[in-house]
Amino acid sequence: MSRIGKKPINIPQDIEVSNANGVLTFKGKKETKTLDTHNRVGINIDGKILSFSLLNDEKQSRAFWGTYRALANNIVQGLSAGFSKSLEINGVGYKASVSGKVLELALGYSHPIKYDIPQGVEISVDKNTITIKGSDKQQIGQIAAIIREFRPPEPYKGKGVKYSDEVILRKAGKTSKK
- CA gap 46, 9 in Å, rounded: 10
Q: Where are the alpha helices (DSSP H) in the chain?
A: 3-6, 59-80, 137-149
3-class SS shares of the chain: helix, strand, coil, % to 5: 20, 40, 40
Q: What is the pLDDT of residue 27?
A: 93
Q: In this model, does residue 1 exceed pLDDT 80?
A: no
E-assigned strands of the chain?
9-10, 16-20, 23-27, 32-36, 41-46, 49-54, 83-90, 95-99, 102-106, 113-116, 121-126, 129-134, 160-163
CB 74 within 8 A of CB 137: yes
Quote the pLDDT of residue 3.
83
Q: What is the mean pLDDT of residues 63-71?
A: 92
| Domain pair 9-81 / 83-163, same fold | yes
Interior CA angle at 80 toward 47 and 33, to 5°? 80
pLDDT in tens, 88-139: 999 999 999 999 999 999 999 999 999 999 999 999 999 999 999 999 999 9
2 vs 92, residue with greater confidence: 92
Class of domain 9-81: alpha beta
CB atoms near residue 69 (< 10 Å):
21
Q: What is the pLDDT of residue 176?
A: 65
Band (pLDDT 50/70/90 cuts) for residue 60 is confident
pLDDT score of 171 more than 70: yes
CATH 3.90.930.12 at 83-163, yes or no: yes
Q: What is the structure's pLDDT at 117?
A: 95
- Asked whether 160 and 109 are in contact (CB, 8 A), the reply is no
pLDDT in tens, 17-55: 999 988 999 998 889 999 999 988 999 999 899 999 988
pLDDT bin (cut points 50, 70, 90) of residue 152 is very high
* Single pTM value for the model: 0.87
Q: State which H helix or E strand residue 175 sits in.
A: none
For the chain, the structural domain boundaries read 9-81, 83-163
Alpha-helix runs per DSSP H in 2-108: 3-6, 59-80
